[in-house]
Structure 1
Amino acid sequence: MVKQRSKRLNALGFLNRRNDLEVYLFERSINSDVVVACIDKFCENLEKPTVLVIDNSSIHTSNMMLEKQQEWLEKGLSLFFLPTYSPELNIIEILWRFIKYNWLGIDAYESWENLVKAVEYIFKHFGEEYIINFA
């Protein structure tokens, strides 16, 4: 008998301290290809020079990511890598903790459908109903 892996919901997001959020949900693993595609999409809407703060995970430091840095810089996006092992400096980590430990109700875990619906609801209403005070 083949053991079936449980489904996994992954999110990749861009967040600033004004609670502006752009998020992408995936039912697959996130690798460098996915991150690059999301950053490329994010660059399409840049209106001014922007700094993207990211951690040093392997998908952020891959050759693919490093090769795209100059192209992104020309579009107005520069990358700032946080020191190793410093999730407390990454505001998106604060968002993930709020979602997991404060905003998702126990009923969200009753089924896959409930989980997806609850997470999508939070993201749709983030900045209005769901707010983080970064002050």
Structure 2
Amino acid sequence: MAESIWKGGERKHVQGFFIRIGARYRRIRKRPKGQPSPQLYAYKTEKLQELERQANDGLIDLYYGDESHICTEGYVPYGWQFPGENVHIPSQRGYRLNIFGMIDRNNRYEGFTTSESITADKVADFLDRLSFKIKRDTFVVLDNASVHRGKLIAELRPIWEKRGLFLFFLPPYSPHLNIAETLWRILKGKWLRPVDYTSTDSLMYATNRALAGLGSELYINFAHVA
């Protein structure tokens, strides 16, 4: 017992030390191993800031797009449980729900989910249908994944641009510039509950319900969490 009390006191002492020197206990984010060219990064971030200003002034619509997935074998190590309650996730063959989604800073969301792989054809079809719905010039920020840089999308870009839909590619190794990454983190870490993983149907329903509720029931303050 004495040893455990000493360890607890030592832990508090270490925490207090870091707080006194200005450190804060925060989530450590994963970042790609590579680094973008400083010149390309500076050029792209400047252009992105200009797009943000135009969107803020109401001149354009600006979405951030990305892929993610939800799996029934999601890692859910902890959850709130009442005395006598035994929350568990049944062991089963994993099911994966793939998502392509786009969100803006006002929580407007466009996207689709599928149990199949997300391919360049699927992304191109989604963007093509979107190009007929836009009401003003619309920019979609994407990373450099192969499904975004394929031949089909390259061929369709001039057609989309005539309709007012433009693609803006981030510099390589820069996921932190894409606010869609924040959406996926909050979706998986906050909006989906451990009980949602108990079956494929419940996981699909909870995921689609959360995405459909963006901007009306669920909100992200990107100024604070992006």
2:186 aligned counterpart, secondary structure: helix
Identity of aligned residues (%): 39
The equivalent of 1:129 in structure 2 is 217
Query: What is the CA distance between 1:6 and its match in structure 2?
Result: 3.4
SS of alignment partner, residue 33 of structure 1? helix
2:167 corresponding residue in structure 1: 79
- Structure 2 spans left out of the alignment, 5+ residues: 1-92
Pairing 1:95–2:145 present: no
Q: 105, 123, 143: which is aligned to 1:55?
A: 143
- Please give the alpha-carbon distance, in whole angstroms, between the structure 1 residues aligned to 2:135 and 2:212: 23
Residue of structure 2 in register with 1:117 after alignment: 205
Q: Does 1:28 align with 2:116?
A: yes
Query: Which residue among 64, 68, 80 is the counterpart of 2:156?
Result: 68
Partner in structure 2 of residue 37 of structure 1: 125
Cα deviation, 1:83-114, whole Å, max 9, x if unaligned, reads 11111111111111110111100011111111
- Answer with 88-97 or 29-38: which moved more: 88-97
Query: If you compute each CA radius of gyration, which structure gives the higher value, 1 or 2?
Result: 2
Partners in 2 of 1:100 and 1:46 — Cα distance? Answer: 29
Deviation at 1:129, TM superposition (A): 2.1
Residue number in structure 1 paired with 2:57: none
Q: Does 2:79 match 1:19? A: no
- Residue 96 of structure 2 aligns to a residue whose secondary structure is coil
Partner SS for 2:167:
strand
Q: Which residue of 2 is the match for residue 104 of structure 1?
A: 192
Q: Spell out structure 1 runs of 4+ moving beyond 4 A.
A: none
Any idea what the Cα deviations from partners look like across 1:56-107, whole Å, max 9, x if unmatched? 0011011111111101110101111001111111111111111011110001
Q: Name stretches of at least 5 consecutive residues in structure 1 with no aligned partner.
A: none
Count of residue pairs the alignment pairs up = 131
Find the residue that maps to 1:13 and give its secondary structure: strand
Partners of 1:64 and 1:10 in 2: CA distance = 21
Q: CA deviation at 1:120?
A: 1.4
SS at match of 2:118: coil
* TM-score between both structures, scaled by the size of structure 2: 0.56
Counterpart CA distance in 2 for 1:47 and 1:111 is: 39
